[in-house]
Amino acid sequence: MRLTRREALALGAVSAAAAGLTGTARGLIREADAQTRDIAWSNWSGYLSATPARVFAPASVDELAGSMAQLPAPIRPVGAGHSFSALVPTDGTLLSIDRIAGLDHFDEMTGTVRFKAGTRLFHAAQALEDENRALPIMPDINKQTFAGAISTATHGTGIDLMALHGFVTGLTLATPSGELIRCSETENSDIFKAAQVSLGSLGILTEIESQTRPLHRLRKSQWFEPIEDVIANAPELAREHRHWEFYYLPYTGMALVITNDETEAPVWRDPDRDDNKDMADLRMLESLTWWAPPLRRFLSRRLMTGTGAASEVDTYWRVLSSERAVRFNEMEYHVPVDAAQQCLREVVSAVERAGVRVFFPFEFRYIKGDDAWLSPFEGGERCSIAIHRYFEEDPKPIQDVVEPIFRRHDGRPHWGKMNTLGAADFASLYPHWQDFLDVREALDPEGRLLTPYMRSLFGL
């Protein structure tokens, strides 16, 4: 059933928040050279900024390794600028590996692939498509560099699917001294477990080897349901679908449920669909009814109840990721599955009770556990709960409400998203925290990769 534009008002708005990134970070490198310049940088949302002493974009791994010891510290790697935590800003060297990119090798016998670390995820997916292969998982943003994605534990959704770093089988990094180190499960294994999710604090990733799987298409379906029903049935729904998630629209009592399952059906995309066109309408609805939440709830339920399911079929990465035109700032915590349903109920209740003005949806996903030392999913599967706020609005009011709830339920923050935790908090959340610190100290004893924020994060 095709939705009318009025019926699709909230649907298009939520899809906009689920979509991919329209471009690289504002203020990033505009010329591919290694000259010293006074250049301002800001992340995608504009919330973080820096004026580094130098911007460095090496054209090769040899140029990168040969320059590491001479670059002004702190040296911080930068990718798409989609992190909202202060991992990148530096007054030393902002280092881009955008020029160290591309498919390096594909092994038809094992199905493993080796990419240069500056490869953007959508370029990686396109290159593998030519080999009739696919990445095992694709996040909802595909403009990130491969290095940036695994360094912050970027994930998709699927109760049987790990985050991207969980499928990595080997890495090469350039240390601050210029040494190139290869690591895997069997070679420099401690460095490998640390480097799978490293926050760019061990060195600069240059190559990433990963598992792949056969190329496949997905059928995407989405529909509205009352939030109470969706939360109650979440574990069962997650097990029934390869990819399952939902978005709660604040103050509406309704959720947009999204499933993606493998199919042999031919590609079909709705030619009239535009994921971003209705965000302004949703914002207007919030502006007109913020003073009367019951009215907003009533109108939204009338609008969404009984609408048919929207559907499309395409290659996996084109379905799982799309363009994101409306900027925001984000807090995301990963909560143990046994606590996730109650945690979300408390988040919804607390935000609406506090009356925080917000029109962006809350996102809920499942991710399988892995064993990388700083993976938020180390030790077992977790549910991701993400809270967004429009980039022109202060994110603190809503984050001050929800973060204590996340922490009370043993949540671990996404490394690339906003949080207020410090070294003592992370030490209590991560069993291998000290193991990671020991590897970091061995590879960067002078702290050349550490900004004041990074030093605080590691308790130095």
Give the CATH number, domain containing residue 404.
Answer: 3.40.462.10
- Asked whether residue 312 is assigned to any structural domain, the reply reads yes
Report if residue 432 sits inside a domain. Answer: no
Query: Considering the domain boundaries, does residue 319 fall inside one?
Result: yes
Coil, strand or helix: which one is 433? Answer: helix
Longest dimension (CA), the chain: 63
- Residue 266: asked if its preceding bond is cis (omega within 30°), the reply is no
Domain encompassing residue 224: 9-19+216-413
pLDDT of residue 437: 98
**Beta strand spans in 33-89 (E):** 41-42, 49-50, 54-56, 75-78
Residue 91 forms part of a structural domain: no
pLDDT at residue 246 in the model: 96
pTM: 0.89
Dist. CA 174–CA 172, nearest whole Å: 7
> Is 102 among the domain residues?
no
pLDDT of amino acid 378: 97
Cβ burial, residue 202 (10 Å; 0-12/13-18/19+): buried
Structure tokens at 52: 């580094």
Local structure of 341: helix, strand or coil: helix
Structure tokens at 21: 């990134």
- Both tokens of residue 420? 């207020």
pLDDT of residue 227: 95
DSSP per-residue codes, 205-248: EEEEEE--EE--EEEEEEEEEEHHHHHHHHHHHHHHSSEEEEEE
Residue 150 in contact with residue 416, Cβ under 8 Å? no
Residue 262 lies in a domain: yes
Residue 94, beta-bridge partner list:
55, 76
Asked whether residue 242 is assigned to any structural domain, the reply reads: yes
Report yes or no: 83 and 199 within 8 Å, Cβ to Cβ: no
Q: Which of 154, 181, 172, 167 is nearest to 210 (CA)?
A: 167
Quote the number of domains for the chain: 1
378 in a structural domain: yes
Task: Encode pLDDT of 404-452 as tens digits.
Answer: 999 999 999 999 999 999 999 999 999 999 999 999 999 999 999 999 9
In the chain, which stretches have pLDDT less than 50?
1-36
Q: Which of the 8 DSSP states describes residue 313?
A: E
**Tens-digit pLDDT profile for residues 306-329:** 666 778 999 999 999 977 788 999
Number of H helices, E strands in the chain: 14, 20
Q: According to the model, what pLDDT value does residue 33 have?
A: 41
Q: Taking Cα atoms as reference points, which of 412, 408, 452 lies closest to residue 432?
A: 412
Helix (H) or strand (E) holding 50: strand 49-50
